[in-house]
Structure 1
Amino acid sequence: MNIIVFITLFPLFGFLFLSFIQGAISRENTSIIGICSIVISFFITCFYSVRIIENNNQIFTQMLWQWLSINGFNIDFGFILDRLSLNMLFVITGIGLLIHIFSSWYMKSKEGYSRFFAYTNLFIASMSLLVLADNFLFMYLGWEGVSVCSYLLIGFYYTKSQNNYCAFKAFILTRISDIFLMISIFLVYNQYHTFNFQQIKFVSTFLNLENIYDLNFITFFLLLGVIGKSAQLPLQTWLSDAMVGPSPVSALIHAATMVTAGVYLIARTHFLFLLTPEVLYIVGLIGIITILISSVSALVQNDIKRILAYSTMSQIGYMFLALGVKAWSAAIIHLMTHAFFKALLFLSAGSLILSCKNEKNIFKMGGLRKKLPFLYINFIVGGASLTSFPLFTSGFYSKGDILFRVLQSGYFYFFLIALFCSFLTALYTFRMIFVIFHGNNTHEVTPSKNLNHNIPLFILLLFSTVFGSYILPPLLDVFPVSFFLKDDKFILETICSILSISGIYLSYYFWIKNLHWVDKILNFKLMKYLHYFFLKGWGFNWFYNISFVNFYLFISKILSFDPLNKTINYFLRIICVFNHYLLKTSNGYMRWYAASMIVGINSFFILILFYWLNLNLVL
């Protein structure tokens, strides 16, 4: 029996049920319904993973319904479950389940408890639909579904106008990108006469080289269509502002799943990008520039969640870089390891913020390592994995594999920038950790002993270590080669290890041993300007406001007065004036009518006389 559809249906049923009975049941029952729907999807995913591994990469398909059939034009909606979609489902349902369990503790004292679980269930349903769809159109339904959920969850605390602004910003920027995705889907059908991924892949193997020009447009628009969702240059500005939502939302949508949808779509259509190496180079170029911009920006941030947001941009950039050099497996491996340690960091950050009475500024914390030892360990392990700390962490193997594949590809400048940004990652990550957990204590905090808080964090902690590198290969059917320390990788891994440890040491030296060095540097006017420039994300928001937003508001203000309507109203007023005075002529007095007739007849004869005199003069 084929039960793939239930992976999507159970979270969808959870959303519908929680939406209809809003507030009618207790919070405990609400969380049970929200969590159990994800548990069922996760177990179904595990069931199919065993079957795929046992049956030597068998591909499962399930036809749902025929949406359209007109004169040979057929659109079928169905599911496809292969290695790629299976890996994504483990991230969506597995990490999604842990985040749901954590959320039952995190949201217990907040308003909108049932609404929160309804939104997150809808998100899981939409994201699973996105990765299971067997064609572009069905995939696009899930693609837009996660956008709606992102808007709802970013603006979850809707009573604050700033949160609504950030939600609108995320929604609009991703919509700009989605326009190009729609164009690419139309171009795909025009070229292949089908939306089905498997059929397009089959036809691409026999593609005539004369059609490569059109194919460049397809892959280029596909790339433009995914950079918004994955927060890559130049549509990356929404992600740092999206941190106004609850911390579990940041972990679920903006670290583990939604932002990786672009990586998934490029990997799913890699057979098209292989035919267009120029566009594939642009994928890597966008990735490496985003890595550089976000790494430098994270180095000067004070908000803990914004630091993690910029680190997410940079890690997605590493995935794009891997895709650009055709390292498909390396990109997906890093996608999964990143989901583990970044979810760990975001959830730990959420717990930390609650403990510090909603304080997010890292320089207003400090000295928390003794009072919050479990969170301290989580940050150390998650941060170490993010910085590719050697041997002990899963991030070391996944990111090391990407760097090695970039070096192998011959893009030496990409490799050098990626290596430098790996050092910056260690610098800003442990800057955050040392400032928060070392130094002088400023907060009275109490560690949480709730199982719903501790168990998800412990599981994510475990998978962020080298243990995750043992679990992932059976799922991917690809062992992380860097784990075996082959001779041709040993030098690179040694360099990466030195950079990672050096970044950690410099963070300790500058922000623990010699904390006043920042003030000394910022005394220079140029450095103060650079600091402000990087703090504001390299001025992208300013540029967009000047170039697009203000111009749009200016045009909107003009159109709000409706100049065409004013022109029509002008003629209307003239008619009203004439009507006003003409009505006065109908006053009911006979003498007025007689005088009017005499004046009218005399005026008529005067005009005839004037015309006759002019005619005689001409003759």
Structure 2
Amino acid sequence: MPEFLLPLIVLSPFSAAIILFLSAGRMPARYVGLLATGSVGLSAIISVILAVLLLSAPSAEPIRVTLWEWMHTPVFSAHIAFELDPLSLVMILVVTVIGFLIHLYAVDYMRGDPGIARFFGSMTLFIAAMLVLVLSSDLLCLFIGWEGVGLCSYLLIGFWYTNPANTAAARKAFYITRIGDAAMLCGLLLLAATVGTLQIDTLTEAVTAGQITPTAVTGTALFLLVGALAKSAQIPFQTWLPDAMAGPTPTSALIHAATMVTAGVYLIARLHILFTAATVAMTVMAVIGTLTLLMAACSALVQADLKRILAWSTISQLGYMFLALGTGVWQAALFHLMTHAFFKALLFLTAGAIIERVHHEQNIFRMGGLLRTMPGIAGSFLAGASALAGLPLITAGFYSKELILSSVWHANFPISSRFSLSGHVLWAIAVVGAFLTSLYIFRCFFIVFFGPLKKDASGHTPLLMAIPLACISFLSVFGGVVEIPDTLAPVHLFTQMLNPSGFFTHTEDPAWLLYAGAAAPLVGLSVAWLLWGRTSSVIQEIPGQTIIIRLTESGWGFDILYDFVLVRPFRFLNWLGRHDILDRMSSGAASATRRTNAFLVRFRTGILSYVSERTIVMTREGNVLLARMQNGRVRWYAAWIVTGLCVALASAVLS
């Protein structure tokens, strides 16, 4: 029975996507939403059933099913096969449950859009591709899902393709993630050439047994890390994610919460044994995650667009996950991935409701006082903001972020044989990031919902949009109680589910470590209240008065750098190709060569003709002269002899 349900969880949204694409808009809008939401809802129900079956089984054996053998050679084989274990179980529950709520929200949000069938077709295909990614037991099969989510993100970001900015954002996301995909493919080829298979279980056994050389392990880990960084928008690939806000808000919620950006985190967690054996990759991962969380938090603090604030927030929270992965505590990264899916989906969906009711205005400084006109939306946004900030004890984000901070404190990152980077430094930066997270999200909350009313809010939030908000609000507040620090209560349901054998050990953390992590978001909330929460804000909008603010608001100049280093040279080469400049230069060179050759031929012919003619003339005239000299008169001959003799004697005397 479980083996039958496993492929069905993917087949349900995939079949709906095919039907919606083939309908070509001929299906009524209400049936489009019903089909898409129902298919994802069916996958969510199957996920819950599989969770009950897997967790209630006396043994912790994964559920495996092989659909068919994709390819087989004497040295390599690949299968289309699925495997359900605790790690993939967490992912399918997050993808299907949060995906279902987002689809339910989108039914009312996208009503009246002429491309609704194309929208829901891309959304359900997105869910199917993500499920293939997280369920695959073979890395080549996983790569199919990996490319599938990249394709669907392109379709959804550029959904409103009549606007050139949207298509540009879609192309940007596609190009940048393709760089990572190429690196990932190189890593897969290196693994296939080294081990002869891409079966995940076989690969991890080979790494554990030392059958792969350290050089191959490090090279593979770095290639795969580049792919994960690009997909999860970490430095230096983070520039595509803020521009991905060009798509509809349900798309933003799906990409940022349950799919796409979490794929890189899942890949590293799935192959954590391989990455743990590559200390260089682990150190690079932790440092990049730390820099990303700090850089993105600073960028979110100076944004004015509501959705871009949340986009930079996603990049920052993914930085926390990569920091946890770099310490080797992948369970903490998965726990934060789950709670992040709750509160980030909630924040994006509430942002969509706000934007729709204020006539598609996204600048937070043109809003204000919305607490009086939409108190329910304000409550949902407050729940999401509190979970994102990690307010202690009352939100899910606090528990997941605390698990990351405690794991970083005890970590040590080798840089060379003589030097290492202490986890205390990265812990301090992560705490500063927690302070900035609370500061920028409550800045957004106070500016939008407090103060004088600047824009009238029309209408009300429909029931189909309100139900998902209520459900995800509950998860954002109470979804973290499955893992609580020992200082508060020894509850470790999440990590025990991921490690039934008890591999994950909980260290004895000093109490002040927990208090410091809890104090950072509270300090950020207090500062945000002092600056923006009171009746008259201390700080108003700063329209880029300094270079630092302009640089931070633009994403630290990465786009400018890439424009000069990559985009403009590529466009120049494209211009050369489009206008056939090289062909024209080649044709011009050939024409000049032909003209030069013709000139040389004419010049050579003229010179030879002139020399020939003058030789003939001189010969003829010499002949006439000699003929006159040979006239048969003896006395003339004697005179010539005497003259020559005199000249010869004179020359001899003078010399």
TM-score normalised to structure 2 length: 0.84
The residue number in structure 2 matching 1:477 is 496
- Distance in 1 (CA, whole Å) between partners of 2:100 and 2:116 is 17
Structure 2 unaligned segments of length 5 or more: list them. 413-422, 485-491, 597-604, 620-655
- Distance in 2 (CA, whole Å) between partners of 1:23 and 1:96 is 22
Equivalent residues of 2:86, 2:498 under 8 A apart: no
Equivalent positions of 1:219-230 (< 5 A) are 219-230=221-232
Q: 1:281 aligns with which of 276, 283, 286?
A: 283
1:430 and 2:451 are equivalent in the alignment = no
- Distance in 2 (CA, whole Å) between partners of 1:103 and 1:123 is 14
- Distance in 2 (CA, whole Å) between partners of 1:507 and 1:606 is 97
Structure 1 residues 274 and 237: alpha-carbon distance in aligned structure 2, compared to 1, 3 A threshold: same
The residue number in structure 1 matching 2:172 is 169
The residue number in structure 2 matching 1:543 is 561
Equivalent residues of 1:462, 1:468 under 8 A apart: no
The residue number in structure 1 matching 2:465 is 453
- Distance in 1 (CA, whole Å) between partners of 2:564 and 2:595 is 45
The residue number in structure 2 matching 1:496 is 517
The residue number in structure 2 matching 1:555 is 573
For residue 518 of structure 1, give the secondary structure of its aligned residue in structure 2: coil
- Distance in 1 (CA, whole Å) between partners of 2:205 and 2:462 is 52
1:608 Cα deviation after fit: 11
- Distance in 2 (CA, whole Å) between partners of 1:178 and 1:611 is 77
1:332 Cα deviation after fit: 0.2
Equivalent residues of 2:451, 2:536 under 8 A apart: no
Equivalent positions of 1:295-310 (< 5 A) are 295-310=297-312
Structure 1 residues 486 and 222: alpha-carbon distance in aligned structure 2, compared to 1, 3 A threshold: closer
- Distance in 1 (CA, whole Å) between partners of 2:523 and 2:312 is 21
CA shift digits 1:439-470 (9 cap, x unpaired): 00122224635321111111100000134424
The residue number in structure 2 matching 1:583 is none
1:541 Cα deviation after fit: 0.7
Q: 2:30 aligns with which of 28, 31, 35?
A: 28
1:489 Cα deviation after fit: 4.8
1:567 Cα deviation after fit: 4.6
The residue number in structure 1 matching 2:265 is 263
1:576 Cα deviation after fit: 11
CA shift digits 1:396-429 (9 cap, x unpaired): 0000010011001141110000001100000000
- Distance in 2 (CA, whole Å) between partners of 1:407 and 1:574 is 72
The residue number in structure 2 matching 1:592 is none
For residue 321 of structure 1, give the secondary structure of its aligned residue in structure 2: helix
- Distance in 2 (CA, whole Å) between partners of 1:606 and 1:375 is 99
- Distance in 2 (CA, whole Å) between partners of 1:167 and 1:29 is 28
The residue number in structure 2 matching 1:62 is 65
CA shift digits 1:218-240 (9 cap, x unpaired): 10111111111100000001101
CA shift digits 1:482-528 (9 cap, x unpaired): xxx997353222222222111111111111338564369x69x9x72
Structure 1 residues 198 and 366: alpha-carbon distance in aligned structure 2, compared to 1, 3 A threshold: same
Larger Rg: 2
For residue 235 of structure 1, give the secondary structure of its aligned residue in structure 2: coil
The residue number in structure 1 matching 2:365 is 363
AA paired with 2:378? Y
For residue 228 of structure 1, give the secondary structure of its aligned residue in structure 2: helix
- Distance in 2 (CA, whole Å) between partners of 1:70 and 1:52 is 34
Structure 1 residues 162 and 432: alpha-carbon distance in aligned structure 2, compared to 1, 3 A threshold: same
For residue 538 of structure 1, give the secondary structure of its aligned residue in structure 2: coil
Paired residues in the alignment total: 586
Q: 2:315 aligns with which of 306, 309, 313?
A: 313
Equivalent residues of 2:256, 2:345 under 8 A apart: no
For residue 231 of structure 2, give the secondary structure of its aligned residue in structure 1: coil
AA paired with 1:463? L
TM-score normalised to structure 1 length: 0.89
1:202 Cα deviation after fit: 1.1
1:440 and 2:452 are equivalent in the alignment = yes
Equivalent positions of 1:412-427 (< 5 A) are 412-427=424-439
1:310 Cα deviation after fit: 0.5
Equivalent positions of 1:189-228 (< 5 A) are 189-208=192-211, 211-228=213-230
For residue 448 of structure 1, give the secondary structure of its aligned residue in structure 2: coil
1:208 Cα deviation after fit: 4.9
For residue 454 of structure 2, give the secondary structure of its aligned residue in structure 1: coil
AA paired with 2:234? Q
Greater displacement, 122-131 / 490-499: 490-499
- Distance in 2 (CA, whole Å) between partners of 1:487 and 1:369 is 43
For residue 25 of structure 1, give the secondary structure of its aligned residue in structure 2: coil
AA paired with 1:488? D
1:41 Cα deviation after fit: 1.1
- Distance in 2 (CA, whole Å) between partners of 1:242 and 1:475 is 32
Equivalent residues of 1:192, 1:200 under 8 A apart: yes
CA shift digits 1:347-371 (9 cap, x unpaired): 0000000010000001100001121
Equivalent residues of 1:157, 1:163 under 8 A apart: yes
Structure 1 residues 375 and 570: alpha-carbon distance in aligned structure 2, compared to 1, 3 A threshold: same
Equivalent residues of 1:83, 1:475 under 8 A apart: no
Structure 1 unaligned segments of length 5 or more: list them. 579-601
Structure 1 residues 76 and 424: alpha-carbon distance in aligned structure 2, compared to 1, 3 A threshold: same
- Distance in 2 (CA, whole Å) between partners of 1:215 and 1:488 is 33
- Distance in 1 (CA, whole Å) between partners of 2:287 and 2:191 is 24
CA shift digits 1:32-51 (9 cap, x unpaired): 11011111111111121111
For residue 72 of structure 2, give the secondary structure of its aligned residue in structure 1: strand
Q: 2:528 aligns with which of 501, 507, 511?
A: 507
Q: 1:347 aligns with which of 345, 349, 354?
A: 349
Structure 1 residues 111 and 612: alpha-carbon distance in aligned structure 2, compared to 1, 3 A threshold: same
AA paired with 2:558? F
- Distance in 2 (CA, whole Å) between partners of 1:512 and 1:81 is 47
For residue 537 of structure 1, give the secondary structure of its aligned residue in structure 2: coil
CA shift digits 1:525-551 (9 cap, x unpaired): 9x7221111111111111111111112
The residue number in structure 2 matching 1:183 is 186
For residue 218 of structure 2, give the secondary structure of its aligned residue in structure 1: helix
Structure 1 residues 390 and 304: alpha-carbon distance in aligned structure 2, compared to 1, 3 A threshold: same
Greater displacement, 448-457 / 308-317: 448-457
Structure 1 residues 240 and 571: alpha-carbon distance in aligned structure 2, compared to 1, 3 A threshold: closer
- Distance in 2 (CA, whole Å) between partners of 1:57 and 1:206 is 22
The residue number in structure 1 matching 2:627 is none
CA shift digits 1:137-195 (9 cap, x unpaired): 11111111100100010011111001111111111111111111111111111221111
- Distance in 2 (CA, whole Å) between partners of 1:279 and 1:479 is 23
Structure 1 residues 487 and 85: alpha-carbon distance in aligned structure 2, compared to 1, 3 A threshold: closer
Equivalent positions of 1:12-23 (< 5 A) are 12-23=14-25
1:321 Cα deviation after fit: 0.3
Q: 1:250 aligns with which of 249, 252, 256?
A: 252
Equivalent residues of 1:260, 1:335 under 8 A apart: yes
For residue 477 of structure 1, give the secondary structure of its aligned residue in structure 2: helix
1:52 Cα deviation after fit: 1.2
Equivalent residues of 1:329, 1:478 under 8 A apart: no
- Distance in 2 (CA, whole Å) between partners of 1:371 and 1:568 is 69
Q: 1:235 aligns with which of 223, 237, 241?
A: 237
Sequence identity (%): 36
1:561 Cα deviation after fit: 3.0
- Distance in 1 (CA, whole Å) between partners of 2:82 and 2:190 is 22
